[in-house]
Each structure stands twice: as structure tokens, then as C-alpha cells.
Amino acid sequence: MYLEYFIIAVATLSGLYFHWWLMVRIRRWSNRDLALSMAGEDQAKRDYMLEQLARAQREKVGRRELEAWLQRAAQAYPGNSS
């Protein structure tokens, strides 16, 4: 009887953990894709934007503010012509 509850608990917790893990991965992928989409094909700018994304994560920039934050970082790219 207790084994049945144990199996159900393990299966449920495994499912919840997998769901959390998958959501974290998708969020990371989408944030990376957002940063790279602002860089275009310029490899130096792509590297710069990935550095800026890492900086935003260190500074704990919120998900809602991330796009505007990255746009400002892209505009501040040293290689932009004025």
C-alpha cells in the first residue's frame, strides 16, 4: 500500500522537476535568441550581445525589462556608426 503512494509521489515529483527544467531551458534559449537577433550577422556584435546578456543576468534584470535593456545595450555597441 505504501509502495503505491511512493511510486505516485516519485512520478509526480519527477514530472514537476522535468517541467521546471524544461521551462528554464526554454527561457534561456529565448533570451539568447533575443540577444542574438539584435546583433544580426556581425560576429563581434553577437559576442558583445552575449556578454551583455550575461551582464543582465548578473544584474538580475527582470524578464519584462530584458528586451529594452538589451536594445539599449545594442545601441551602445562600440562598433555602431554615429
pLDDT tens series, the chain, 82 aa: 789 999 999 999 999 999 999 999 999 999 999 999 999 898 999 999 999 999 999 999 999 999 999 999 999 998 876 4
Calpha distance 33→35 (Å, rounded): 5
C-alpha cell at 21: 527544467
C-alpha angle 21-67-18 in degrees, rounded to nearest 5? 5
Under 8 Å between Cβ of 70 and 38: yes
Q: In angstroms, rounded to a whole number, what is the distance separating the alpha carbons of residues 46 and 42?
A: 6
User: Amino acid identity of 64?
Assistant: R
CB 55 within 8 A of CB 37: no
- pTM of the full structure: 0.79
